[in-house]
Amino acid sequence: MDGLGIAEMQTALRSGEVTAVQLTTSALTRAHQATIDFKAFSTLSKNALIDAAKSDQRLRENLGRPLEGIPVGVKDLIDTSGVETVYGSEAYIGNVPTQDADVVRVLREQGAVVIGKTTTHEFAWGVTTSSCKFGNTLNPIDPTRIPGGSSGGAAVAIACGAVAAGLGTDTGGSVRIPAALCGVVGFKPTFGKLPTEGIFALAPSLDHPGILGAAVADVAILAEAFGIRQARPTQQGNQRIGVVNYIRPVPLDQHVSLAFNEALLTLDRAFELTKLNAEDLFEGVFAAFAGIVLAEGGMVHFERSSQATISSKYGQETYDRLERAKVVVLADYINWQQTRRDFRTRLEATLANLDFLILPTTPCVAPLVGQAEVTVGPWTGSVREALMTYTAPFNMAGYPAISLPLPVHSGAIPCGLQIIGRPGLDVALLAVAQRIETIFKNGK
């Protein structure tokens, strides 16, 4: 039963071909191996098989719920009752929440079985899912490379087949970036669509709970649990899609450029594509995003933790960022928020005559573990700026976004196609993503 999508698992469970205990046992075995090999999970649930047995009982009694017996992973930033949740930090070792975050409660109420907590960058404040304390999470396609982050463990767990889907969070690309770098699907719904209660905040005005999956269908089934109902993928070719090739100052590397341009040739046969001159659209957005994260992240941690705890228990990277947060002034925050409002206005105008935008999820493939900077053509900058420049703007706007794998040649490192929809039109975004995924698989 290895490698099944959620829909196939549901069919097999209802027919009695497989039990929830069997699915969960297999998931735990694969999760354990993925943790040994790539550090995919921070902890596995001791109650998973108990929960699976309860699902089997409900299925025998014809009381199965929509996600009955389906194994899922949950990012270690999200509270899970009875399962240690350390938020990727030494400061929270031994923390066992007494109740589920709202997003976990919804999945459990629909019958999903939480098998464990997938690894995260400390407090989700980073894009590498590396940790001096717990060890680095590694890319399963090439273990010399990072998986992306901060929801890196979830992408690795899915790429390894431990689960078909799971929960992550996305403040500036933290679902979509690891999805792109590990060859899976990552979905960030419209801001506010999924509840954040019980999730450790990074920057509250930018934080989005998100869903990762092996395929768009797996993501869509989990999304349905939150009221994002599935729609039949449209077969009409009149959808208007704007194409963004480049967001200054980070150009596309050769690998991503080739894959993206080949994908455009394929999609041009199915959609009305319009190449956009987006030079001014994203002006100043990444800098404002970085400032808002610094300011709001500082407020979260200075309220929650003492200086002594921050100094002794936080990782050096987080500590250094909080030191920088101390000198942020309100006037700067006001200006960053105005930049955000101006960007939303420009983005709304750009989409006025379009249904969707498409662009690469990241401008480069996964950097090497420990790599501090990325060089693409004449540009050199931090790994963080390289990986987030193409994703963070849509957290600033709160627009729904999804990353799915771009077709690449056999043995090539994965990269992603990002699709952006209008706020609130999450169902339409998932539908067009499923259509594009099918086109990519069929090659036409």
Active site residues: 75, 150, 174
Q: Identify the bridge partners of residue 356 per DSSP, sorted by sequence position.
A: 241
| Residue in the block written with tokens 């921070």 | 42
Which token pair is 9? 């698992």
Give CA–CA dist 124/201, Å, rounded. Answer: 9
DSSP string, 43-57: EE-TTHHHHHHHHHH
What SS3 state is found at 440? Answer: helix
Q: Is the peptide bond before 249 cis (omega within 30 degrees of 0)?
A: yes
* Residue where the block lists tokens 């010399």: 144
Locate tokens 């309220």: which residue?
303
| Coil vs helix vs strand at 144 | coil
**Cα–Cα distance for residue pair 320/342, rounded to 1 Å:** 30
> Of 99, 117, 81, 108, which Cα lies nearest the Cα of 225?
108
Backbone angles phi, psi at 228, to 5 degrees: -90, 85
